[in-house]
Structures are given as C-alpha cells and as structure tokens.
Amino acid sequence: MNIEYCYRCGLCNLNCPVFRAFKTETAGARFKAFMIDKNDFNKWIYLTTDCGRCAMDCPANVGLDFLQAKEKTVNAGFETNANKKMIAKLREEGKLF
C-alpha cells in the first residue's frame, strides 16, 4: 500500500458500495486511506466490503489494502464482537456458515 501517493481526490469513493450506502465521508475509502496514513487504526476499518473498487478507481494507484489494515486494527486491540465470533467459528468449524 502506497498511502503517501494519495492526493485525496476522492475518486476512490465514486463506486464504493459502503460510501454509497452510508453517504458519509467516514464510510468512504478516502477517509480510510487518510486514517491509515495517520496510523490511526480503529473499528471504522470494518466498514468495507473489500471489493477492491477503490483500488481500481484510484488514479494514483495507491493500492489500498484494507485487509492489511484490518490485521493491524486487530493487533492494536480494536476488534468487534462480530469479528471475534467469526474468527472463533472459523477456528472451531473451519467455515463461517
């Protein structure tokens, strides 16, 4: 991920399904890129579908990788209850559903 190349144009938000659903800046990829650049990892990172549209639409080819940011978020101690349950189920049963 090359966050330092992001010039905050917002094109990553254009086709973001989460941004379209919530219609707030904090739901979009631009906000997440800004927070990652600040090394501020919190529960906001879970507001992503990991579809990759933001990376495809980025003219600076920043290469947004929210899975990597989610890992750092978990390591920093910011994990949702739903995420904890999902991981426990994966470990126990080897599947989510």
Say what the pLDDT of residue 69 is. 85
Give pLDDT tens digits along the chain (97 positions).
Answer: 788 888 889 999 999 999 999 999 989 999 988 888 888 877 788 888 889 999 999 999 998 888 888 888 888 888 888 888 888 888 899 887 7
| 14/86 Cα distance (integer angstroms) | 30
Residues 18, 22, 23, 29: is their CA dihedral positive or negative? Answer: negative
Q: What pLDDT is stored for residue 3 in this prediction? A: 82
Domain ranges of the chain: 3-93
Residue 77: its pLDDT value, please?
81
d(CA 50, CA 90): 19
Q: Alpha-carbon distance 33 to 7, whole Å?
A: 10
pTM, two decimals, is 0.75
